[in-house]
Amino acid sequence: MRVSILISLFVMENLRKSWRHLRIYIRFSKIRFVDKLSYRAHFFLVLTEYLLIVIVSYFLWKAILTDGRVIRGYSLKDMVTYVAIAGVFRFFINEFSGAISREMGGQYRTGELIMNLLKPVSYQLYIYFHAFGGILFHSVFRIVPVLTLWALLVGLTAPDHLAIFLTSLVLGALVHAGIAFLVGLTIFYVEDNSGILHATSAIIELLSGTLIPLVMYPAWLVSTMNYLPFRFIFYQPMEIYLGHLGKEAGIAVLCAQTVWVFALSTAGYFLFKNSIQKITIQGG
């Protein structure tokens, strides 16, 4: 408890100091957001697609958890909420990975990377914030409409500990950004990393909990996953949402997430520094 207050104070202090700095990066988010807005025509199509995914999983779980069956603490009522949020997040997570890893690959290939290296900003933060613009777009135009519709049509349970849930969601996005940045760096070592990207997004789908609540996996896998960062992307925030974790446990999750954010981003920072040494830009 006290540790978390200290950490948040530390973070706040630093954020205040670097506010002016941050404004530059927020611009990058804005660029991405406006960029995404130009694809408005697809809005209803994508919305339909999201809803379809959620509807399939809804009926599937309704058949699985019939007659009051409960699997590892998950009842049908929990799953109705879980599938709706997981359904929209599965797409969202894919897009977010793409906005980081695929974007890095694209910039590497087109040589745009070099233009960004010349700018007096951190490339890593630039990439992160650029992707956050996409998050904002998705939240406003995809996640909120689908979940509102779902709440009206089928019903959603309200989140427990809303503040902790939202914080853990943001930290989860940062954990994900850290992983995606590391995966994106593979472009420096292989000519074409799209296979790696696809495989990672499958791994993230399986291990972040958007496919199925992680506790339902076999015991050996569950215990392995405790040592991996993936569950913090979606599963842990969702456990807080559903009230499976109390307040104390929720705050412990936030601390663990913060540690992972720092670890992954630091690793990304040093690996990136190392990687740009071997960069070859074609053309000119």
CB of 114 to another protein, least distance (A): 25
Q: Which lies closer to another protein via its Cβ, residue 86 or residue 164? A: 86
153 interacts with another protein by CB under 8 A: no
3-class secondary structure for 9-24? HHHHHHHHHCHHHHHH
Binding mask 71-110 for another protein (x = CB under 8 A): xx--------------------------------------
Window 220-259: residues binding another protein (CB under 8 A): none
154 interacts with another protein by CB under 8 A: no
Beta bridge partners of 53: none
- Secondary structure class of 118 (helix, strand, coil): helix
- The residue whose two tokens read 């109705």 is 80
Q: How far apart are CA 206 and CA 181, in angstroms?
A: 19
CB of 26 to another protein, least distance (A): 31
DSSP class of 226: T
Spatial CA neighbour of 239 closest among 66, 78, 63, 111: 78
Q: How far apart are CA 244 and CA 236, in angstroms?
A: 10
Q: How far apart are CA 226 and CA 234, in angstroms?
A: 14
Q: Which lies closer to another protein via its Cβ, residue 174 or residue 180? A: 180
Q: Which lies closer to another protein via its Cβ, residue 62 or residue 77? A: 62
Residue partners of 148: CB distance under 8 A and separation at least 6: none
Q: Which lies closer to another protein via its Cβ, residue 73 or residue 246? A: 73
217 interacts with another protein by CB under 8 A: yes
218 interacts with another protein by CB under 8 A: yes
> Do the beta carbons of residue 171 and residue 264 sit within 8 Å?
no
37 interacts with another protein by CB under 8 A: no
Q: Which lies closer to another protein via its Cβ, residue 185 or residue 261? A: 185
Q: How far apart are CA 240 and CA 169, in angstroms?
A: 10
212 interacts with another protein by CB under 8 A: yes
- Secondary structure class of 240 (helix, strand, coil): helix
Window 177-206: residues binding another protein (CB under 8 A): 191-192, 194-195, 198-199, 201-202, 205-206
CB of 238 to another protein, least distance (A): 17
CB of 247 to another protein, least distance (A): 29
> Do the beta carbons of residue 115 and residue 283 sit within 8 Å?
no
Residues that bind another protein (CB under 8 A): 41-42, 45, 48-49, 52-53, 55-56, 59-60, 62-64, 66, 69, 71-72, 191-192, 194-195, 198-199, 201-202, 205-206, 211-212, 216-218
